[in-house]
């Protein structure tokens, strides 16, 4: 497996993990402000990882 495909896989797995954890925390926060803030931070991290995965996929040329 070449490095760009490996990088794409790692970035996309990170996006999935951060997004799932963020959604779980958001759904189980019960309105506590610190839980909502942490869920937003995790979801932002998930979108950042997803953007990096897209950029990595475009760099690979496939």
Task: Look at the block and give the residue holding tokens 């990882």.
Answer: 49
Residue 42 has pLDDT above 70, yes or no: yes
Q: What is the CA radius of gyration of the chain?
A: 14
Query: What total number of domains does the chain contain?
Result: 1
CA 42 to chain centre: 8
Give the length of the chain.
62
Expressed as residue numbers, the domain containing 21 is: 3-60
Least confident of 1-10, 28-37, 45-54: 1-10
Residue 1 has pLDDT above 80, yes or no: no
What is the DSSP track for 12-59?
HHHHHHHHHHHHHHHHT-TT-HHHHHHHHHHHHHHHHHHHHHHHHHHH
Arithmetic mean of pLDDT over the chain: 91
């Amino acid at each position: 497996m070449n490095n760009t495909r490996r990088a794409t896989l790692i970035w996309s797995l990170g996006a999935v993990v951060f997004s799932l954890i963020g959604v779980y925390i958001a759904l189980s926060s019960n309105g506590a402000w610190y839980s909502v803030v942490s869920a937003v931070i995790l979801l932002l991290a998930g979108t950042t990882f997803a953007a990096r995965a897209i950029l990595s996929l475009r760099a690979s040329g496939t």
